[in-house]
Amino acid sequence: MGRSSKDKRDIYYRLAKEEGWRARSAFKLLQLDEEFQLFEGVRRAVDLCAAPGSWSQVLSRKLKGGAGEGPEAVKIVAVDLQAMAPLPGVVQIQGDITKVSTAQEIIQHFEGQPADLVVCDGAPDVTGLHDIDEYIQAQLLLAALNITTHVLNKGGTFVAKIFRGKDVTLLYSQLRIFFPNVTCAKPRSSRNSSIEAFVVCRGYCPPEGYVPNMSNPLLDHCYDVDFNQLEGPNRVIVPFLACGDLSAYDSDRTYPLQLAPGKEYSYVPPTQPPIRPPYQEACFLKKNNLLAKEPGPPPLEEAGPAPSYGSVLEPQGCPPETAVENVLASLSMSP
């Protein structure tokens, strides 16, 4: 498979490299912003699970722009467990979003002020077992929501990835505790074959007397599984929107390498390779044919020559011709 094959199969992967984005997911946030105007009036933004940094890039380009430094300057903080290459105008924290210390460090970078916008494009390494993937993603989203309650200003916005599974109403119920306006959105750059979508939660308003707590997050004890499995008008449904221009590229379609006449295709390498990814050692071993291989089955024993028709038809040392005649004679004598 040539290096240009993915450029044909994934148009947004190709466009991300050509436009200098670190990952194709940058287009998802851009298309969400087209629909919801997420960046309007934002001065402090947080990107959770930020690596490799495509959403932080979008925040930097959209919010910073030509803004200078000073007390009114836009501040952006990116948080991830993995190391990330530096970005202009973005403060990076290599930390755990389930720790109080991480929330305190975010507020410290904002000089004691809460954030106006929190985004999270984090997702687990999928296993292919949908129930497990949906559960892990749900736990990651709730962890992002929990730290958001520590750092988000009242009236702020929270955007996060979600896997739409059978228990997605439980997540909607949790989000509605803190946000009166919750919408599920699907950007055009997100494949139709994928169960991913994004929740856009606006108007942050925690319950009266609520104190953020990492060790004991607030849960919706009024959630009724049986009620939320009802259908039709009896079920509370979160609005669903498809984001992105209808004339934009289709993420599930294969495009030719030459998109426009007179514009010759040339391969563009990724903008920023991952820094010390967990799979780096495995890739090195595979590339150098050093991966351990399971021993194959033991070799078959040497077998003698295959028996000839003569040996099969030759009874008690008779010549083959006589044996064939005897068989034919017995067949003709049978009733």
* Residues 43 and 72: beta-carbon distance below 8 Å: yes
Q: What is the rounded (10 degree) CA torsion for 38, 44, 50, 51?
A: 120
CA-nearest of 140, 52, 127 to 92 is 52
The DSSP output letter for 317 is: G
245 is in an annotated binding site: no
Which parts of 110-238 fold into alpha helices (H)? 130-151, 168-178, 225-228
Beta pairing partners, 93: 79
* 47 annotated as ligand-binding: no
Q: Which of 80, 72, 125 is nearest to 102 (CA)?
A: 80
Euclidean distance between CA atoms 206 and 179, whole angstroms:
7
Cα-based distances in Å from 246 to 90, 250, 323: 32, 9, 81
The catalytic site residues sit at 161
Is 55 annotated as contributing to ligand binding?
Answer: yes
Is 125 annotated in some ligand binding site?
no
Asked if residue 21 belongs to a known ligand binding site, the reply is no
d(CA 147, CA 80): 13
Would you list which residues are annotated within the binding site for S-adenosyl-L-methionine?
A: 53, 55, 80, 96, 121
Would you list which residues are annotated within the binding site?
A: 53, 55, 80, 96, 121
